[in-house]
Homo-oligomer: A and B are copies of this chain.
Amino acid sequence: MKYGPFVESVRARGLEMGDVVCFPLSVGWFGERGRPRRVSKLQFFYKGGTVNMYARPVEGVTVTVDLDRMVVVDFRDRMVMPVPKAEGTDYRSTEEKEEEEEEIPGPGSRGISIEGHVVRWANWDFHVSFDARAGLVLSLASVADPERDESRLVLYKGHVSELFVPYMDPSEEWYYRTYLDAGEWGFGVSSLPLKPGADCPANARFMDGFYAGRDGMPVRVENVFCVFQRYAGDVSWRHTEIIIPGRVIREVRPEVSLVVRSVAVAGNYDYIVDYEFMQSGTIKVQVGLTGIVEMKASEHTHTNQVSQDIHGTLIAENTIATYHDHFITYYLDLDIDGQRNSFVKAKMKTVRLGSDSDGSSPRKSYWTVERETAKTEAEGMVSMSPAEPSELMLVNPNKKTKMGNVVGYRLIPKSAPTISLLSDDDYPQIRAGWTKNQVWVTAYDPSQRWAGGMYADQSQGDDNLVAWSRRNRSIENTDIVLWYTVGFHHIPCQEDFPVMPTLNGGFELRQTNFFERNILLKTPLPSVESDSCSSGRQSQNIIIG
């Protein structure tokens, strides 16, 4: 801080030396020969008006220090850039306040308002309804923007559209077990009452569902949904700052979210369907697989008797649990801040700095982002691969942030992306052809909600997501639907017997330049009292149309 040229550089920028913070960085190895360097490159930040000095970089100045001799061995002041302003960079709730324990809302329901079909909680509001085929249907999910003092639409409608569950035994009794659980059985009809205190916390809010029975009379499913506030001990954001001399700043916010759940039981198998609304703006979607695996009787009582492919695992005496897949396809009619949206692939591409570069960088490569807006449905299909990553976003090309970024939400898988391994010409695969990609984007058509087609059970693949997409409609700046398939290859194991511990998968839809900034700083914790001590259960039965 006393090195003349550096003091000069600070003065030339009109900054106060007392507010400059020094950040020593490791330098790595970039092909230098000889004895390893023990040097650090210092970068500088400005803490004037903020404790978040990382937001106020003093760009262009690099001081290299020899850590053995503790002397400056190189000084570079390459350019002068404006120091970004302090305003809006502080992340503390109030400056310099005393540390005090905040009350964290317990699990429960007191912060949840349900009027008719509309659920309101914290900064979210949405509509919940029940469908015989889809089960739980969310619509008009909107999040409050604290800067604009208005609610902004994210999800026009979302639900499970289809499940494809093919078994891998070609024998007479098993070859046809290639279920489309929503289209053939009804994922809503399969949704059964939740047990308070077990399927959901005892003090969750429960709702009933109704559908038209085979005789036309209403069938009531009691407690078919539950809604509860979650605090799982997690952190919505945090930072501890120790680099400002003489001070320690520690700001941590607990993660309190809202879960909407239903459970569908497809015969032997149970699917726990969760939508979790985060105060950050994120919607987490999770499916839990549990229940009982499909089993086949066998003469075998030990694996050493097995001499050919038994198409499964010998999980108990005389019992084979057959190999199978689960593909859960979600219909996600996102309307990001309005109806006209586009699908953008932000592809990460390696740029080589080879012998043809100007040699100014010791690096030989980096990645950058090439944004491609999908024009038609053919460009809306994505098969994810670690070697060709892209951030997949639904954006509203007509809306931009103040900085000029297009507003959007991105899709983040929370389990390994999976595709069907059946051959394309196999009949079940013809019916469920979309399971060869994880992602499809289609033009909105109110008749196209069921990935397997209207009549999935005897479908020949001529009315499904693949068939519709062949029309290759425009999907740019129009009303579009995102379809995402969460897949599992299931090689059963003995621990799946006699009932299977829950296995989770899913994805999240995360705000991406939708807001001007992290809204958690301006969103107060839900103003609810802790009711986790209450053993009483609150149930509100409402009629769902």
Contacts and interface: CB of A to CB of B under 8 A. Distances in A.
A360 interface: yes
Chain copies in complex: 2
Contact of A498 (B52, B176, B500): B52
A478 interface: no
A427 B363 contact: yes
14 contacts: A26-B176, A26-B457, A55-B497, A84-B295, A101-B196, A176-B362, A234-B288, A237-B290, A304-B404, A313-B513, A323-B366, A346-B491, A367-B489, A497-B517
Contacts of A193: 240, 250
Contacts of A423: 350, 352, 364-365
A288 to B, nearest CB: 7
Contacts of A412: 415-416, 503
A239 B240 CA distance: 44
B517 A421 contact: no
Q: Which of A230, A309, A501: most chain B CB closer than 10 A?
A: A501
A235 interface: yes
B494 A58 contact: no
Contact of A360 (B172, B311, B346, B501): B172
Interface string A404-421: 110000001111111101
Contact of A502 (B90, B236, B362, B383): B236
Contact of A495 (B179, B389, B517, B535): B517
A431 B363 CA distance: 13
A499 B513 contact: no
Contacts of A66: none
Interface residues of A, number: 204
B316 A363 contact: no
A144 interface: no
A25 interface: yes
Contacts of A228: 233
Interface string A93-123: 0000001011010110000000000000000
B29 A235 contact: no
A426 B243 contact: no
Contacts of A199: 235, 238, 252
A197 interface: yes
Interface string A49-84: 000101111111010000000000000101001111
Given A238-B291, A416-B413, A532-B106, A91 B518 contact: no
Interface in A261-300: 263, 265, 267-268, 270, 272, 278, 280-282, 288, 290-299
A268 B265 CA distance: 46
Contact of A237 (B230, B278, B502, B510): B502
A313 B513 CA distance: 10
Contacts of A90: 498
